[in-house]
A and B are shown apart, each in its own frame.
Chain A
Amino acid sequence: QSALTQPASVSGSPGQSITISCTGTSSDVGGYNYVSWYQQHPGKAPKLMIYDVSNRPSGVSNRFSGSKSGNTASLTISGLQAEDEADYYCSSYTSSSTLNYVFGTGTKVTVL
């Protein structure tokens, strides 16, 4: 099972909006509405930001939103803030793995 494809890096200025893509196949992203997004600051454990494509867990800022079109899911961060600088990983349910889930390659978000 190959990792989902994400851009290595995305950057933006404070207050701007950025979007991170996560591309898979019809066996994962395109076939199920079970895409999650995780934020990881250096030296910290990942934190769930979005689940089931577009749902936010309690306590996550509404500046974070998720969507999906075909085999590509997206995470949008609006009103970019310095604290958003981190690595972001997508994850999807997959029918191609005995573990049923696969991560994306990860994206480094830089706030300019």
Chain B
Amino acid sequence: EVQLVQSGAEVKKPGESLKISCKGSGYSFTSYWIGWVRQMPGKGLEWMGIIYPGDSDTRYSPSFQGQVTISADKSISTAYLQWSSLKASDTAMYYCARRGIQGTDYWGQGTLVTVSS
């Protein structure tokens, strides 16, 4: 069974750093693109960036380029999304999702990030 399991909710202060994770199982982790999707409170879905764990090819949406870093450790089938300096506007639910042959077919359960002073 394909699963993407994300790390737990985080509460941070502005200016702090953060790295959240997404562990894949039940499939060949290195053979599928993994993406990160932001959903701000009460808003829609936005692609932030994607990574191909097989060769670490990484692409970012222009809106998120320079604001976050996406990485992956294929030895432990885990993708990461990190911030070096959080802002209140980063408060959102973040999903990882697998891009399969049949579209974005599997999603993590989401990680809620709250940034507040």
Contacts and interface: CB of A to CB of B under 8 A. Distances in A.
Given A46-B95, A99-B59, A106-B45, A52 B50 contact: no
Given A45-B107, A51-B102, A91-B103, A101 B47 contact: yes
Decide if the interface of chain B is mainly helix, strand, loop or mixed.
Answer: strand
Size class of the contact patch on chain A:
20 to 34
Given A46-B104, A51-B102, A98-B62, 18 more contacts: A3-B44, A36-B104, A40-B45, A45-B107, A45-B110, A46-B45, A48-B105, A51-B105, A91-B103, A97-B61, A98-B59, A98-B60, A99-B60, A101-B47, A101-B104, A104-B44, A105-B44, A106-B45
Interface of B: 35, 44-47, 49-50, 59-62, 95, 97, 99, 102-105, 107-110
Interface in A55-93: 55, 57, 89, 91
A99 B61 contact: yes
